Structure 1
Amino acid sequence: MLHVRRLDSPWGQCTVWFRDWLRAHPAERDRYARIKEALSAEQVGKTDYDDYTRAKTVFFDEVQVEFEGWAANSQ
């Protein structure tokens, strides 16, 4: 899957920070991967992925302050 966002938008920048934070934090990257794999398995056969999106957003919300702080200190 490919997501395209404008890099100059606030959400685009946040997405890049999240990606880079995951690359720098393998344990969190692996935890996120496990969450996404489990959620994906739960969605097999469903035509609407809103439940998947909402559920993985829980992880994002948990770590957002941390990765934004990390990004601010990494620049």
Structure 2
Amino acid sequence: MCNDSFTFLAPLGGINRLKNVENNMVIIEEEEQMKKKMILVGLWCIQTIPTNRPSMTKVVEMLEGNVHSVEIPPN
């Protein structure tokens, strides 16, 4: 009986491990997108010409939005 249960449940363990790997890949991708967004926003905030720097409201909007909506700063 124990062998039969193991044979039946073993594939579920593999499926769960696969789901964990998939979830970890999604988390890593989200972290990479957040890092990229934070770097771009940081580059906007250190512009040498003060008028090129975003307001704090704009910074919050950029951080809350999609990474693809944050443009590369001019300098």
- Give the TM-score of the pair, scaled to structure 1: 0.32
- Give the TM-score of the pair, scaled to structure 2: 0.32
Q: Which has the larger radius of gyration?
A: 2
